[in-house]
Amino acid sequence: MTTSLPGPGVARVHGAVLTGIHAEIIEVQATVAVGAPGFAIIGVPGDGTCQMRDRVRAAVLNSGLAWPSGGVSVSLGSSSLFRRGCGLDLPIAVAVLAAAGTVPAGPATGRVFAAELGLDGRLRPVRGIVPVLTAAAAGGHVTGVIAPQNTPEAAMLPGTTIVPSQSLGQVAAWLRGEHLARVAFPPPPPGDAPEPVQHSYPGLAALGVSPVVRQVLEVSAAGGHHLWLTGPREADVPALAAGLVVTLLPDLTGQEAAEVTAIYSAAGLLGPGRARIRRPPLRVPDHRATIAAVTGGGAGLQPGEAALAHGGVLCLDDAPGFERAVLRTLAQPLGGGEIVLARGGAIARFPARFILVTGMRPCPCGADDGCTCTPLQTRRYRDRVTGPLGAWIPLRAAVDRPGRTHVPGGQPGQDTDALSAARVAEARNRMGHRLSGTPWRRNGDIPRHELARTHPPAGDGQAVIDHAIDLGLTGNLGARHITAVAWTLADLAGGSRPGAAECAQALAFWTGAAR
């Protein structure tokens, strides 16, 4: 938004600053003083000032617009804020042109400008246009001037109007009154939900999973519990994780869809056909992934794999192959459901509530027959995962290698995947009804103290857990996980409260003894 101040040659333009997935609308002030030529930008830390200054000046000149002959000063507000990666080039250029009188101030009122400028004056897309336009609408700025490549992302924000512009010259002409097409996105009709992103992954029936593995996956999907799968080298854990996403997990809720879409927008991963994310995401990072790749960081505090898996599944195939320090960093999202990054005086928070699926072999060699690994080697191999992550994973099961088919449950001709998805949906409905009025939606989200206070199992079920503690099979944290899984088993079975059978089954999952 551009308005003239009482003094001549001073203008204000509104742009946006992106920190994580949260945008802040800021005021860009520009003034042109009589005197020696110069160009100063106040409020950008480090070497970002020189790069931004050179891009803006070159874009103005190469667009055929006159650069002010006096001293140009631009202020972006407090320098304590992170001023990178959110398209401040365009608002700076518009503010300078308005302060110099090259373009009028009035037509830009109520607009937010967000785009990077090329040296030739063309507008380039920026990351995070979804949170930028969301913050703009919340601040009363219902129109955004953006690069055409960001239009698919803007389309998922109903009630907003955008002005996609090819170049700074087009923006200047529009401010002078020339026609420039606007694209308005009206609110969708009630009940009109966008189509979910289609996946090409196989379902669980195509993978021939055993009844125990199918039950473990159902429990994981219904209650949001983390999963540890052990199998030979040929066991395809990523395929099982994909089957979990495609077959069992329901569509994202409205809030989850908004958060996931904002995360992918901030990461620059949205585009044509990906502007609306309604299905849970699946992320399978390589075992060579660094801490920054998993947790996020870099220029502009971009989200990492943990945040990109929000609302879906993070699969770590061959988990012992990951650096131990990388596995330790997952304790933050597993415990608190978010990733917190601090860089350059800015703090970014990314929601990161996902189902963790870890895969590993029974021993370092992973051979079914002829294994030569010693017990010490096997224990050290498993400790690479159990040390940093074991306390957070309540479901543990063995996976057969491909080719071993299993007889599906149910009657002949029945769709076993459809039956499993229906059981998960019914269990989630029971959880939702029981947890209504609380901050939690799934049994796996309930903290330990709340489980003990308001969700204890039946007396005989609690006796099973207490006996396991006495035998040293679990501790207090493990007892919390066992209780939560027992509630999910009861929800899947249609029970009102877990008893001895559910608690014993949950204990078997915790120890990996389920058969």
Inter-helix orientation angle 168-175/89-99, to 10°: 40
Instruction: Give the tens place of pLDDT for each residue, 97-140.
Output: 999 989 987 776 778 999 999 999 999 999 889 999 999 888 88
User: For residue 482, what are the CA distances in angstroms to 224, 417, 444?
Assistant: 13, 26, 10
Compute the distance between CA of residue 359 and CA of residue 362 in angstroms, rounded to an integer: 10
Residue 33 exposure: Cα atoms within 13 Å on the Cβ side: 10
Is CATH 3.40.50.300 the classification given to domain 204-410?
A: yes
Q: What is the pLDDT of residue 24?
A: 87
Domain boundaries, the chain: 3-185, 204-410
Question: What's the rounded mean pLDDT across residues 51-62?
Answer: 92
Is CATH 3.30.230.10 the classification given to domain 3-185?
A: yes
| For residue 1, pLDDT beyond 50 | no
Q: What is the pLDDT of residue 235?
A: 82
Q: What is the pLDDT of residue 347?
A: 80
Q: What is the pLDDT of residue 343?
A: 72
Closest CA to 420 of 145, 204, 276, 273: 204
| For residue 366, pLDDT beyond 50 | yes
Q: What is the pLDDT of residue 145?
A: 92
Question: What's the rounded mean pLDDT across residues 472-487?
Answer: 91
Mean pLDDT, the chain, rounded, equals: 84
Number of neighbouring beta carbons within 10 Å of residue 102: 18
Q: What is the pLDDT of residue 252?
A: 92
Instruction: Give the tens place of pLDDT for each residue, 309-331.
Output: 999 999 999 999 999 999 999 99
Q: Which stretch of 251-265, 268-282, 299-313 has the lowest confidence by average pLDDT?
A: 268-282
Closest CA to 373 of 383, 364, 362, 361: 364
Q: Which stretch of 46-55, 252-261, 274-283, 323-332 has the lowest confidence by average pLDDT?
A: 46-55
Q: What is the pLDDT of residue 329?
A: 94
Instruction: Give the tens place of pLDDT for each residue, 408-452.
Output: 544 544 578 899 999 999 999 999 999 998 999 999 999 888 888
Q: What is the pLDDT of residue 330?
A: 94
> Long-range pairs for 330-338 at CB < 8 Å and ≥24 separation?
330/294, 330/306, 330/356, 330/388, 330/389, 330/392, 331/388, 331/389, 331/392, 332/295, 333/306, 334/226, 334/389, 334/392, 335/392, 337/445
